[in-house]
Amino acid sequence: MKNYIKYFGILALGMVACEPEFENPVDDQDAYTSGEADFSNYVALGNSLTAGYADGTLYLSGQQNSYPNILAQQFAKVQETNGFTQPLVADNSGGLLLNGTQLPGYNTRLVLGVSESGPAPRNYGGAITTDVSNILTGPFNNMAVPGAKSYELLAPGYGSMEALMQQRANPYFVRFASAPNTTVVADAIAQDPTFFTLWIGNNDVFLYAVSGGVGVDQTGNLDPSEYGRNDISDPQVFAGAYSQIVSEMVEAGAEEGVLLNIPDVTSAAFFNTVPNNALVLNAEQAAGLTGYFQAVAGIFTQYLMSQQVPAAQAQAIASQYAITFNEGPNRFLIEVPVTQTNPLGFRQMTQEELLLLTINQAALKQQGYGTAAITPQVMEVLGILQAGGQPTQEQAQLVLNAVNAIDDKDALDQSEIQAIDAATAAYNQTINQVAQANDLALVDMNALSIKVSNEGIPYDAGTLTGEFAVGGLFSLDGVHFTPRGYALVANEVIKAINSTYNATVPKVNIGNYKTITPSND
């Protein structure tokens, strides 16, 4: 009789061990296919956008949500891989130290703080603990270096501490370069990659844009050693570097890969958050400003005439400064180069010109930044003029000096936008040709960036747009993406892989990835 119980127990235990099993489990080896691609050793090359940089810095959870890391997790659902390593920073504060001291310009991440005046980005108050002098031991699958330009991926010494001390290297690469004199690409190919993604060239034009165009458009100058940080790289310099990076990767064995082209730079939230017509005036204010600029024109006419310029010509030149303001929104004034036709060096912005996110918005609202800083003394002179009086030379100068047009560094004017667009188009033409020549997949980030800012990308909980802070795509620096934005990039890469290599890599649900981080800490 005891036997019955025994058998019953064995039966029970045997069945208890069973798990619910799907007919077609997604973790089955054949659930998905990598097609002609081989993801077993995936290496990512790029800049901040590939590193997972967000909110103005590199921090741990940003890296964990980098698009290469998201991709690697999806690749692991398709085939057995060697894993995916990243040169992780030490914390979620962001920022960098060098030998215990904060590196200037490498501050903590931006978070959305809430104060009495409402929500606004601010720097997180946590301690910075990532020290550049703490060199990591690789290899790292994610070889992205924030701040890198195209040709810098091939530059020996770009990860050298010695060169960093002379401000000729990149602290992010110093952290994980295998040797002081190595290059990013050399460290990448040393890993015998089977697959790669490359998203580089953004900084060749982008740093110029975010500087407000204070850099130089180096188109025509083929010597990058003469370039400043904020300059636009010559398209031939870009093309040479880009082709070399790709051919070295392909020769190293990564015959399949994905190239991502350069987004439409000016579609970033960084350039589209502060409108150029945010000067909202009531009728009285408009009349006051109009009167002031009439005075400017009048004074300048007289000045020109005093410099022996014929009256008609003097009036013609000075009349451009008699700017009329209307009740409601008005465009700001910006500084432009002083020329013979614009001797005072300012004018009203045109419709397509852009203001930068970093502009002092309080000054725009309260200090006449973008129009004129009209002091009581200026008012006095205006009163004299109105009464038909003649101001002294000093008083006249006071009026002219009150013009407070927006600095070049805070705006992108037409010529700067043209230079950006021209360089971007040239780079993208190169990327397209290199992709075709090497049978690599191409992701048109340029078209995607325009689509996001124009109509948005629908997902399961709404629409992802480029609107600052609330749209979901851009992190609080207005340039780099949120985890949800990077998940979108990962899906675009997957789409390109699947169509180019006959693979069936599953996409991610971008709604499961977070956007900006609110914090009052």
Partner 1 sequence: MLTVFALASAVTYAGGYRVGVQGQRALAMGHTGVAVVNSAELGFFNPAGLVHLENQLTISAGVSAVFAEVAWQNSDTGDIARTDNPAGTPFYFNASYKLNENLALGLSVYTPYGSTVKWEDDWAGSHLVNNIQLQAIYIQPLVSYKIADFFSIGGGPIFVTGSVNFNRNLTRTLSDIDGNRSNVTIDASGVTEWGWSVGGLFTFTEDLRLGVNYRSEIIMHAEGGEADFENIPNTPLAPFQDTTFDAELPLPAELTVGLSYELNEKWLLAFDYNRTFWGVYESLDIQFANGTTSTNPRAYEDSSTWRFGAQYEATDKLTLRAGYYFDESPVQEGYFAPETPRNDSMGFTAGLSLDVTSRLAIDASFAYIRFDEVDASYNHYIDENGQNVPFGGTYKSVAFIPGIGVTYKL
Rg (CA), the chain: 29
Q: Which is nearer to partner 1, 62 or 224 (CB)?
A: 62
Dist CA 332 CA 101 (whole Å): 40
Dist CA 364 CA 370 (whole Å): 6
Dist CA 396 CA 300 (whole Å): 9
Q: Which is nearer to partner 1, 15 or 312 (CB)?
A: 15
User: Reduced to 3 states, what is the DSSP secondary structure of residue 435?
Assistant: helix
Dist CA 509 CA 63 (whole Å): 18
Piece of 23-31, 243-251, 277-285, 419-427 that binds partner 1 (CB under 8 A): 23-31
Q: Shortest gap between Cβ of 504 and partner 1 (angstroms)?
A: 10
Does 18 bind partner 1 (CB under 8 A)? Our answer is yes
Q: Which is nearer to partner 1, 130 or 276 (CB)?
A: 130
Q: Shortest gap between Cβ of 32 and partner 1 (angstroms)?
A: 7
Q: Shortest gap between Cβ of 492 and partner 1 (angstroms)?
A: 15
Q: Which is nearer to partner 1, 111 or 356 (CB)?
A: 111
Applying CB under 8 A, among 106, 124, 227, 332 the residue interacting with partner 1 is 124
Q: Which is nearer to partner 1, 176 or 513 (CB)?
A: 513
Does 520 bind partner 1 (CB under 8 A)? Our answer is yes
* Amino acid identity, position 444: D
Piece of 25-33, 132-140, 174-182, 352-360 that binds partner 1 (CB under 8 A): 25-33
* Amino acid identity, position 489: V
Applying CB under 8 A, among 15, 29, 225, 458 the residue interacting with partner 1 is 15
Q: Which is nearer to partner 1, 314 or 469 (CB)?
A: 469
Applying CB under 8 A, among 16, 220, 337, 390 the residue interacting with partner 1 is 16
Does 22 bind partner 1 (CB under 8 A)? Our answer is yes
Phi, psi of 236 (to 5 degrees): -75, -35
Which residues within the stretch 410-469 sit at the binding site for partner 1 (CB under 8 A)?
Answer: 460-462
Dist CA 151 CA 204 (whole Å): 9
Piece of 6-14, 195-203, 262-270, 444-452 that binds partner 1 (CB under 8 A): 6-14
Does 521 bind partner 1 (CB under 8 A)? Our answer is yes
Phi, psi of 55 (to 5 degrees): 55, 35
Dihedral of alpha carbons 82, 88, 90, 92, sign: negative
Q: Which is nearer to partner 1, 156 or 462 (CB)?
A: 462
Q: Shortest gap between Cβ of 7 and partner 1 (angstroms)?
A: 10
Piece of 9-17, 214-222, 359-367, 417-425 that binds partner 1 (CB under 8 A): 9-17
Q: Shortest gap between Cβ of 442 and partner 1 (angstroms)?
A: 24
Q: Shortest gap between Cβ of 98 and partner 1 (angstroms)?
A: 24
Residue 471 Rama label (left phi>0; alpha psi -120 to 50; beta): alpha
Dist CA 472 CA 119 (whole Å): 16
Does 119 bind partner 1 (CB under 8 A)? Our answer is yes
Dist CA 452 CA 498 (whole Å): 22
DSSP state of 472: B
Q: Which is nearer to partner 1, 480 or 484 (CB)?
A: 484
CB-based contacts of 403, cutoff 8 Å, min separation 6? 296, 333, 344, 346, 372
Does 30 bind partner 1 (CB under 8 A)? Our answer is no
Number of neighbouring beta carbons within 10 Å of residue 198: 28
Geometric angle at alpha carbon 365, from 271 and 120, rounded to 5° = 60
Q: Shortest gap between Cβ of 127 and partner 1 (angstroms)?
A: 12
Number of residues engaging partner 1 in binding (CB under 8 A) = 53
99, with CB counted inside 10 A (0-12, 13-18, 19+), is: exposed
Q: Please count the CA atoms within 13 angstroms of the CA of 180 that sit on its side-chain side.
A: 8
**Pattern 487-506, partner 1, x by CB under 8 A:** -------------------x
Does 116 bind partner 1 (CB under 8 A)? Our answer is no
169, with CB counted inside 10 A (0-12, 13-18, 19+), is: buried
Applying CB under 8 A, among 35, 126, 343, 345 the residue interacting with partner 1 is 126
Burial per residue of 383-415, b for 16 or more beta-carbon CB atoms within 10 angstroms, e otherwise: eebeeeeebeeebbebbbebbbbbbbebbbbee
CA distances (Å), origin 427, targets 239, 341, 509: 7, 34, 31
Does 83 bind partner 1 (CB under 8 A)? Our answer is no
Note if the bond before 68 is cis, omega within 30 degrees. Answer: no
Q: Shortest gap between Cβ of 92 and partner 1 (angstroms)?
A: 5
Does 509 bind partner 1 (CB under 8 A)? Our answer is yes
Q: Shortest gap between Cβ of 264 and partner 1 (angstroms)?
A: 27
Applying CB under 8 A, among 40, 82, 92, 438 the residue interacting with partner 1 is 92
Geometric angle at alpha carbon 354, from 331 and 170, rounded to 5° = 150
Piece of 227-235, 290-298, 427-435, 510-518 that binds partner 1 (CB under 8 A): 510-518
Does 394 bind partner 1 (CB under 8 A)? Our answer is no
Applying CB under 8 A, among 36, 114, 251, 306 the residue interacting with partner 1 is 114
Q: Which is nearer to partner 1, 417 or 490 (CB)?
A: 490
Question: Applying CB under 8 A, which residues contact partner 1?
Answer: 1, 4-5, 8-9, 11-12, 15-16, 18-27, 31-32, 60-61, 64, 74, 77-78, 92, 111-114, 119, 124, 126, 460-462, 484, 506-509, 511-515, 517-521
